């Protein structure tokens, strides 16, 4: 079954901040490569989002959230296939919602 993946506004803002940081610290080419890889990782959640491990902070939430770690800085992509509540723990964490 395929899920629709939605990037929350908070997640997009975190991604945008990270792109600016990578452009400043490395190069525009590296930032573009990182961004395209991140989008591919997010898109991969459309198939089997439950393949990812449950977040350590799970005890704080009623809905089940899972994490997909991406990149050298281990950006955490938190996803939920049942939640309607956007959630973001820090700028290094992006929230995507996976909907059937």
pLDDT tens profile 31-63: 999 999 998 988 888 888 778 888 888 888 777
Instruction: List alpha helices for 26-78, DSSP H.
Output: 28-43
Domains annotated for the chain, with CATH where assigned, are 4-99 (3.30.2310)
73: closest CA among 13, 5, 15, 11? 15
Whole-angstrom distance between the N-terminal and C-terminal Cα of the chain?
8
Instruction: Determine the Cα–Cα distance for residues 79 and 92; give it in Å rounded to an integer.
Output: 14
- The pTM assigned to this predicted structure is 0.74
% pLDDT > 70, the chain:
73
pLDDT for 85: 42
């Amino acid at each position: 079954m395929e899920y629709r993946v939605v990037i929350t506004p908070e997640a997009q803002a975190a991604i945008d901040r990270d792109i600016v940081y990578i452009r400043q610290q490395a190069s525009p080419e590296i930032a573009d490569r990182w961004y395209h890889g991140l989008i591919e990782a997010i898109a991969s959640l459309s198939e089997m989002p439950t393949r990812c491990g449950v977040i350590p902070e799970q005890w704080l939430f009623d809905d089940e959230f899972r994490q997909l770690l991406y990149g050298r800085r281990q950006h955490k992509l938190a996803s939920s296939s049942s939640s309607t509540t956007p959630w973001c723990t820090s700028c290094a964490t992006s929230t995507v919602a996976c909907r059937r």
